[in-house]
Structure 1
Amino acid sequence: MSAAGSLPVPDPAASFEAHVEWARATPVEGFDLTPIDDRCVEDPLPWDYLVLARELVGSGRGPVLDLGTGGGEAFSSLAPLPEGSAATEGWPPNVPVARRRLEPLGVDVRQVGSSKGEGLMLPFLDGRFAVVLDRHEEFEATEVLRVLEPGGVFITQQVDSRDGIRVNTALGADLPWDPDDVTIEGVTAELAEAGFVIDVAREHVGTRHFHDLSSLLWYLKVIAWQVPEIASLSPEAVARFEAPLRALHMHFAAGNEFVDEAPRFLVVARKPF
């Protein structure tokens, strides 16, 4: 498999340099992981977020807001979308990608602030939406409650903050977040305190399997906040982590995979009438 505009995918036992070159040359668009989808594999979830979201979008409830839409990949797959639907995105490179994909579907795409406090404020009027979707985006419960109409539904699939621990440990890089920061207990408590009624709360203890060095490097290029020092894949960035990267490459070349933690949880909540 090769990605459009990229080099052929190197064999796991190809040279270290070939894997670095592939990861550098393969373009990133939004959060689309297709170029590595057969070499970076996560355990299947016991629920299907997109099926649940599609049911809500097609329920006739009214306008839908997608928080942290990325490049609009998932939200666009739910079309046709109700009139008045909107999306937010805080990662500047993704905003034009999302607009190209979503504006033809009638979606108002808003760039939100990238700072923690500013980015959680939603630039919409009170009670504008019937449904708010959130797959892996940070949110402020009181803001979500504010923009939902009475009886509106909030569905969120979140990445538990233990995600990525093993990759960062293998590279000798600290996690840029507290591994106890995002948990199902904390999120449900925050939503309940804001005034939501919790209908569903499910947890999944999953793993992510990398099959070669280039898939791991490209993943860290897409998920740039996990190890910010290496995300550019510049010669200097790779040199900084060269020893642990070469050790990982030898691990892959010997026919092994690297398994990281990928825990997830799902919460569905309602704004009371």
Structure 2
Amino acid sequence: MGRNIRNHNNRPFEELIDEAASVSVDGWDFSWLDGRATEERPSWGYARSMAGRMAKATAALDIQTGGGEVLAAVPQLPPLAVATEGWPPNVARATGLLHPRGVAVVADEDKPPLPFADGAFDLVVSRHPVTTWWSEIARVLSPGGTYFSQQVGPASVFELVEYFLGPQPPEVRGGRDPGKARKEAESAGLEVVDLRLEKLRTEFLDIGAVVYFLRKVIWMVPGFTVEEYRDRLKALDEQIRTEGPFVAHTTRFLIEARKPLRPGRTS
């Protein structure tokens, strides 16, 4: 989400929501929100750090690649690079971006088993996976290999979620906990070598940005449609015009885990 701020609140409510409801939300490119929403970025710089690891890898797998935008931007890919994706529109988009770079894109249902042999990759990466199948990641990693992932943290953007859905129970707010990720990684036989969590300010500057975001990130308000939430959208539009941007907080965590060279050993 960009910072080249443009004021869209001089446009009518209906025009803003109609525009946001009709624009394509394929892929994982949020550039449509430039000037309409802002989001602080995690300090670790996932794309840059992932690219550095790619340059040193021999065989790499990007799980749930989305539209392939992040992987396509890596300057130096390993000799063997593969990406998986489960949503058909994203499979097509990722294929168009990644095939010219020599990356094989595999249509996968995003559930076990991964369609690869044991120990096939020395690097597995994933940016914002919906689910992390730790046992499968451990299986396809070669001894000494690394899993490197940026994930959505607990109660991310829940100010917006709860505006539409009301207060959420603790088990929902506390989901995607990095501590739980550590335990699951270790239970799968991996050693967690880095784990960091950050809370980041996010601002929605007009109601069109809210509609686009909820259409794209479909698990935030499941089944979201403009028609169903029109009254809440209208009230939020008036709030933004009167009080300024709607402020929420994104949470992200970085996790890096290594497969031991031999069972029971980490080096």
Query: TM exceeds 0.5?
Result: yes
- Select 2:198's aligned residue among 204, 214, 236: 204
Corresponding position of 2:159: 166
Q: Which residue of 2 aligns with 1:151?
A: 144
Q: Hey, what does 2:265 align to over in structure 1? A: none
Report deviation, 1:178: 2.4
> Aligned partners of 2:203, 2:78: CA distance in 1, in Å?
37
- How far the C-alpha of 1:190 sits from its partner, in A, is 0.7
Distance in structure 1 (CA, Å) of the matches to 2:222 and 2:62: 26
Give the alignment partner of residue 268 of structure 1, picking from 249, 256, 263.
256
Instruction: Report what 2:3 is aligned to.
Output: none
Residue 40 in structure 1 maps to residue 32 in structure 2: no
Could you tell me how far apart the structure 2 residues matched to 1:120 and 1:41 are?
35
Aligned residue type for 1:28: V
Amino acid of the structure 2 residue aligned with 1:48: G
Question: Secondary structure of 1:64's partner?
Answer: strand
Secondary structure at 1:121 match in 2: coil
Is this contact kept in 2: 1:13–1:254, CA < 8 A? Answer: no
Tell me the equivalent position of 2:208: 214
State the shift of 1:183 in Å: 0.8
Match of 2:126 in 1: 134
Give the aligned partner of residue 185 of structure 1: 179
TM-aligned CA deviation for residue 173 of structure 1: 5.9
How far 1:212 moved relative to its partner? 0.5
Unaligned runs of 5+ in 2: 1-5, 262-267
Report how far residue 120 of structure 1 moved: 3.9
Q: Contact between 1:90 and 1:111, CA under 8 Å: does it hold in 2?
A: yes
Q: 1:175–1:227: 8 Å Cα contact kept in structure 2?
A: no
Query: Aligned partners of 2:200, 2:7: CA distance in 1, in Å?
Result: 27
CA contact (8 A) 1:10 1:18 kept: no
- 3-state SS of the aligned residue for 1:268? strand
Query: Is 1:29–2:17 an aligned residue pair?
Result: no
For 1:243, give the aligned amino acid: D
Distance 1:163 1:54 in 2: 25
Which secondary structure state, in structure 1, belongs to the residue aligned with residue 247 of structure 2? strand
- Measure the CA separation in 1 of the matches of 2:243 and 2:112: 43
Deviations 1:19-51 (A, max 9, x none): 111102322230110010332211221210111
Q: 2:37 touches 2:202 (CA, 8 Å); kept in 1? A: yes
Q: Can you list the C-alpha shifts for 1:86-136, whole angstroms capped at 9, x where unaligned? A: 01112222111111111111111112115xxxx242111111111011111
> Distance between the aligned counterparts of 2:31 and 2:200, measured in 1?
20
1:64 to 60, 82, 86: 60
Q: Any conservation in 2 of the 1:175–1:226 contact (CA below 8 Å)?
A: no
Residue 233 of structure 1: aligned partner: none
Residue 69 of structure 1 contacts residue 88 of structure 1 at CA under 8 Å; is this kept in 2?
yes
Deviation at 1:255, TM superposition (A): 5.1
- Aligned-residue RMSD, C-alpha: 1.9
Q: What is the number of residues matched between the two proteins?
A: 254
Residue in 1 that maps onto 2:84:
88
Q: Deviations over 1:241-266 (max 9, x none)?
A: 12211111011212511112211111
2:51 corresponds to 1:54:
yes
Q: Note the residue ranges of structure 1 that are not aligned, 5 or more in a row.
A: 1-8, 231-236
Following the alignment from structure 2 to structure 1, what is the Cα–Cα distance between the partners of residues 114 and 62? 11
> 2:35 and 2:71 mapped to 1: Cα distance?
23
Three-state SS of the structure 2 residue aligned to 1:250 is helix
Judged with a 3 Å threshold, the aligned counterparts in structure 2 of structure 1 residues 87 and 175 are, in CA distance, closer, same or farther, namely farther
Q: Aligned-pair distance for 1:208?
A: 1.6
Q: Tell which deviates more after alignment, 254-263 or 149-158.
A: 254-263
SS at match of 1:143: helix
Look up the equivalent residue of 2:235 and give its one-letter code. Answer: A
Instruction: Report the alpha carbon displacement of residue 240 of structure 1 after superposing the two structures with TM.
Output: 1.9
Change (3 A) 1:161 1:120: farther
Contact 1:129 1:149 in 2 (8 A): yes
State the one-letter code of the partner of 1:42: E
Provide the residue aligned with 2:218 in structure 1: 224
